[in-house]
Amino acid sequence: MPKRFRLTRRFSVAMTEDGYRGLRRFAAAAGLDEGEALSFLFENFDSVTDDELLGHRLRLFNAELEERKR
């Protein structure tokens, strides 16, 4: 029996414009709203990420983060 889909947690998030555009593009392609898309991504995080590429992308993001905040 499938689990009932309930949105039990609500939190405010701050996203970059690029990140939000990517989320909206993914949600639209998948036929989901943004909250459902985020739930899907985090519930299936290990299967939708490439471990080697994730580490590399995270290092690049962290290296640019302080400058992007200005």
pTM recorded for the entire structure: 0.76
Domain range spanning residue 62? 17-69
Residue 51 within any structural domain of the chain: yes
Ramachandran area for residue 31 (φ above 0: left; ψ -120 to 50: alpha; else beta): left
Residue 3 within any structural domain of the chain: no
- Give per-residue pLDDT as tens, 19-61: 999 999 999 999 999 989 999 999 999 999 998 899 999 999 9
DSSP per-residue letters across 8-30 = ---------HHHHHHHHHHHHHH
Q: How many domains does the chain have?
A: 1
